[in-house]
Chain A
Amino acid sequence: MNRIVVAILPLLLCCCDRLPETYPPPEQRQPQALTPDPYAMMVEMNDPDAAQHIVKDIYEPFGSPWRWTAKQPTVKVLVDATDNVKMSADFAIWDDGFKQTGPLELSYFVNGRLLDKLKYATPGYKHFEKAVPAGWLAADAESTISVDVDKLYVSPQDGKKFGLILTRIGFLR
């Protein structure tokens, strides 16, 4: 019996190659052809440089990928082209806040011009997307994008006012 065990053990050990733990530098990747990111004109609320794009009415995040807004969240982005540009926003209307405010009316502005006005009769996740007339934008110049919230949720604890839960806003191509 012992002899069998002794015979089997080295066989088992031979089967198990030790995995290497050090490596030489690998083949170096060459940069691919650079094309602008279609989301390059979008401001993600968890972007490391989001603060540079925020003009007003967007609160600091709570370690979350989204931020609370106030009455008229506004951002600025550098426009790299003016054709086929759509304004886009992803946000949520908070269920508990909705109980206080009821349906909300949101007005979407690009460079101060009203792009659209929509009524939201339910809370939850919302997506807005609408083409922006090319004439409203100037290439290689900053444009402002804002959303006006008609009614704000007022916190019963401290009276602080909240509009939307914003995840991203900007232009899409």
Chain B
Amino acid sequence: MHAALTVLAILFGWLFTVATAWALGTLLLRRFSLVFYRWEERLFAFLVGAALLSAIVFVLCAAHLAWKALFLVLGLAIIGYALRSGAHRPRGEAFPSLPQLWRWVFLIVFGAFTILYFVNALEPESSPDGMSYHLGVVAKYQRTHGFPRITTDIYASLSEGIEMLFLWAFEYGRHSAAALVHFAFFIALTFLILSYAQRIGRPAAGVAAAIFFYASPVVGLDGSVAYIDVGITAVLFALFYLLQIWDQERNAKLLIPIGILAGFSYAVKYTAFLAVPYTLGFIAWKLWRARKPVLRPVLTVSMLALAFILPWMAKSWIEVANPFSPFANRVFPNPYVHISFEDTYRKYMRVYGLTSYWQIPWQVTVRGDLTTGLIGPLFLLSPLALLALRFREGRQLLLAGLIFGLPYVTNVGTRFLIPAVPFVSLSLALGLSGVEWLLLVLVAAHAISCWPNVVQRYCSPAAWRLVKVSPKAALRIQPHDAYLKGNLGYDLAQMMETYVPMDAKVFAFTQPGAAYTSRQVLVGYEGAFNEVLQDILWTPMFRDFQPTRSLTFQFPPREFRKLRVVETASVPAEAQWSVSELRVFDSGRELPRDPEWRLTAHPNPWDVQLAFDNSAVTRWRSWQPPEPGMYLEIDFARNQKLDSVVVESSGDTSATKIELDGLSSDGKWTTIAAAPTESLRPSRMSLRQSATAEFKARGIRYLLITDDNIGANDFRSYSKLWGLKTVAEQGVARLYYIE
């Protein structure tokens, strides 16, 4: 009974979300008297409505009004109004029937894969990103009925257009309802591909392209979990499709859904920002060539797009002082995301585990381990898509595919190819449409080669793919907990739920399944504050991080108002400048740190106190490559007599060079000493307790460590030295309490 109710709740959450989106979209399309073919109307209505519903949920979250009851009332009102307005009665004409052979091909292949994907989506959510952040943030919003200010999780700063829809569904059906919402985008996109081909009079190519896309292993898995890649692809394809219709009909009212979808693209995923210049460029180019006024249509689309883009920028700006967080931190320096993180992230995303870019074609089509997933061997034939260049539609498809595929150069994971896959699929099918039997062979070969039992015969065992589905788990005959047990992310989350008090904070190096815990987790790399904690924790274990270098500037006694330690060397990109302690002396006596002093640093002024706290485990770091001109500064608030300055620094900064500058009473900066004398002072005492004391001082009492984390053995072997007590141990994970 409980299982049946759970499944019903999931299905309700899913269908209620889709129905509300569809109703909103239909109302908008009808309001502007936009008439399409029947299938087109349904599909565009869902996608445009999804954008509108997402915006509504955004507003409710911003106002902290994201309540289940309000969603219910609002949703029912929208659906009721749409039905009363006759929105469910299609206006447009139906497409001509598909040729019989191709109809059966589509029904059989689409039906088989749909069962597979539907069961996967209905299963308890266990995808890595779905359970960690796509639904992790959704669960937070659901608990707080809005946007709490999150500054320690980079993922919470990304645009979350589809996550807003997940939230609507999550309120009723939790995780699986959200995954099914993504699945709805997947279905919609598959039918959009088919519809577009029917519109251009190529139904066979449409069926083939729809199957090329739908059966692709990485697309199938992504589209049936709580990810957003297939969702954004649906939005981009719908945008392309509407632009093509506008190009034919030049109906100015079409610019309304076009503008909405262009803006929604950015709202769903930053990497889809190219949709906006593509849309504006397309419209401007077409109008200019037709010698029609350009400005007004372009402005209309821009304003509509901005209405969907600006709220996300404003949210990030208000919460983390950077409208493009977690990127563009050099342009918008802030205390929440380090530039070094961004650099490292970008560098990794450009290569993953590849040793050569020549590995990409084989990896993304067949092997799928180094780039996380495969689109299927069929796509080795992608160059044949160029045959479509002989058709106008083919040229448009290839251009759009190229533009939407461009962000792949910034992230070579196979998932990042998904936005280009429908365009390549349709171009390939269009290019070969003259040889129908060949298309049929390719469809059959692709469908067979993408079935999970067959995929495992040629892909890497480590490839991210759909391995098997469990109808028992999907129908909750196998309880949710029993199904997820053994999934590391879920197990970590459950460990915290069981052993960590409600309001306690946990530090972890490994991302847990945040969607399954209400505890606040600070993951080492997910924010500047967390990275500082990680640095503190690593300092006792790595001597290179410890303040073993003592750099002394000695000079004749003089009075200064301000003092600066300035970095003067250009150092390799991987390095950083750091200062553990900056001490000032007069006549051999260290001056106590006066509350009147004002401290600052450039860059990263927000951490400057770490160089003045008398702790050997904390340090101010540049968190970006050292550059001449970086400095730490003390403003004494009055003239202060000094005769030496000591900079305590770590071994990993040995490539940097520093000088000492002073501001004297005449208001002029002068160089006091061009170079310090260096002495080494290796520490032979354990700093472990000092590190955990820093955690306590920041209100963090729990550490969640897995065996593959750096230092895992040290925590286990020297837990007494750290002042740690093991609270729970399960498999490779340990939960420690800082005593």
Which residues of B from 593 to 622 have beta carbons under 8 Å from A?
Answer: 593-600, 605-606, 608-609, 612-615, 618
Instruction: Say how far A78's CB is from chain B's closest CB, in angstroms.
Output: 9
Contact A40:B685 (CB < 8 A) given known A19-B321, A29-B614: yes
Bound-state Cα–Cα, A46 to B543, Å: 8
Q: Does B453 contact A (CB under 8 A)?
A: no
Contact B686 A36 (CB under 8 A): yes
What are the residues of chain A within 8 A of B721 when measuring CB–CB? Answer: 35, 38
**Which residue of B321, B334, B593, B683 is within 8 Å of A25 (Cβ)?**
B593
**Which residue of B314, B593, B605, B693 is within 8 Å of A21 (Cβ)?**
B605
Bound-state Cα–Cα, A45 to B127, Å: 42
Contact B693 A29 (CB under 8 A): yes
Contact A26 B612 (CB under 8 A): yes
What are the residues of chain A within 8 A of B314 when measuring CB–CB? Answer: 12, 15
Residue of A nearest to B717 (CB): A38
What are the residues of chain A within 8 A of B605 when measuring CB–CB? Answer: 20-23
Residue of A nearest to B721 (CB): A35
Chain A, interface SS category: loop
Q: Does A135 contact B (CB under 8 A)?
A: no
Q: Does B635 contact A (CB under 8 A)?
A: yes
Contact A24 B718 (CB under 8 A): no
Contact B318 A28 (CB under 8 A): no
Contact A33 B689 (CB under 8 A): yes
**Which residue of B318, B594, B690 is within 8 Å of A32 (Cβ)?**
B690
Residue of B nearest to A34 (CB): B685
Bound-state Cα–Cα, A12 to B323, Å: 12
What are the residues of chain A within 8 A of B718 when measuring CB–CB? Answer: 38
**Which residue of B543, B597, B685 is within 8 Å of A35 (Cβ)?**
B685
Q: Does B684 contact A (CB under 8 A)?
A: yes
Bound-state Cα–Cα, A47 to B605, Å: 30
Q: Does A158 contact B (CB under 8 A)?
A: no
Contact B689 A32 (CB under 8 A): yes
B635-664 contact mask (Cβ, 8 Å, vs A): 1 or 0: 100000000000000010010000000000
What are the residues of chain B within 8 A of A33 when measuring CB–CB? Answer: 689
What are the residues of chain A within 8 A of B540 when measuring CB–CB? Answer: 37
Contact A46:B317 (CB < 8 A) given known A22-B600, A24-B595, A25-B609: no
What are the residues of chain B within 8 A of A20 when measuring CB–CB? Answer: 605
Instruction: Say how far B653's CB is from chain A's closest CB, in angstroms.
Output: 11
Contact B690 A29 (CB under 8 A): yes
Q: Does B111 contact A (CB under 8 A)?
A: no
Contact B608 A23 (CB under 8 A): yes
Q: Does B92 contact A (CB under 8 A)?
A: no
What are the residues of chain B within 8 A of A36 when measuring CB–CB? Answer: 684-686
What are the residues of chain A within 8 A of B651 when measuring CB–CB? Answer: 46-48
Contact A49 B318 (CB under 8 A): no
Q: How large is the interface on A (under 10, 10 to 19, 20 to 34, 35 or more residues)?
A: 20 to 34
B175-192 contact mask (Cβ, 8 Å, vs A): 1 or 0: 000000000000000000
Q: Does B682 contact A (CB under 8 A)?
A: yes
Q: Does A16 contact B (CB under 8 A)?
A: yes
Contact A37:B684 (CB < 8 A) given known A25-B597, A32-B689: yes
Contact B680 A49 (CB under 8 A): yes
Residue of A nearest to B303 (CB): A1
Contact B334 A16 (CB under 8 A): no
Residue of A nearest to B334 (CB): A19
Contact A37 B598 (CB under 8 A): no
Instruction: Say how far B234's CB is from chain A's closest CB, in angstroms.
Output: 31
Bound-state Cα–Cα, A119 to B608, Å: 52
Q: Does B343 contact A (CB under 8 A)?
A: no
Instruction: Say how far B717's CB is from chain A's closest CB, in angstroms.
Output: 8
**Which residue of B549, B618, B690 is within 8 Å of A48 (Cβ)?**
B549
Contact B682 A47 (CB under 8 A): yes
Q: Does A27 contact B (CB under 8 A)?
A: yes
**Which residue of A25, A27, A37 is within 8 Å of B685 (Cβ)?**
A37
What are the residues of chain A within 8 A of B318 when measuring CB–CB? Answer: 15-16
Instruction: Say how far A122's CB is from chain B's closest CB, in angstroms.
Output: 22
Instruction: Say how far A125's CB is from chain B's closest CB, in angstroms.
Output: 14
Q: Does B625 contact A (CB under 8 A)?
A: no
27 sampled A-B residue pairs with Cβ under 8 A: A19-B334, A19-B335, A20-B605, A22-B598, A22-B599, A23-B608, A24-B596, A24-B597, A24-B599, A25-B595, A25-B597, A26-B612, A28-B593, A29-B613, A29-B614, A29-B693, A31-B690, A34-B685, A37-B683, A37-B684, A38-B686, A38-B721, A40-B684, A48-B548, A48-B549, A48-B654, A49-B548
Footprint of B on A, CB under 8 Å? 12, 15-16, 19-40, 44, 46-49, 65
Additional A-B contact list (16), CB under 8 Å, known A22-B600, A40-B684, A49-B548: A16-B317, A16-B321, A19-B335, A21-B606, A24-B595, A24-B598, A25-B593, A25-B599, A26-B609, A29-B694, A37-B686, A38-B686, A46-B544, A47-B682, A48-B548, A48-B682
The list of the 8 closest CB pairs from A to B, nearest first, reads A25-B593, A26-B609, A29-B615, A40-B684, A22-B598, A32-B689, A37-B686, A21-B605
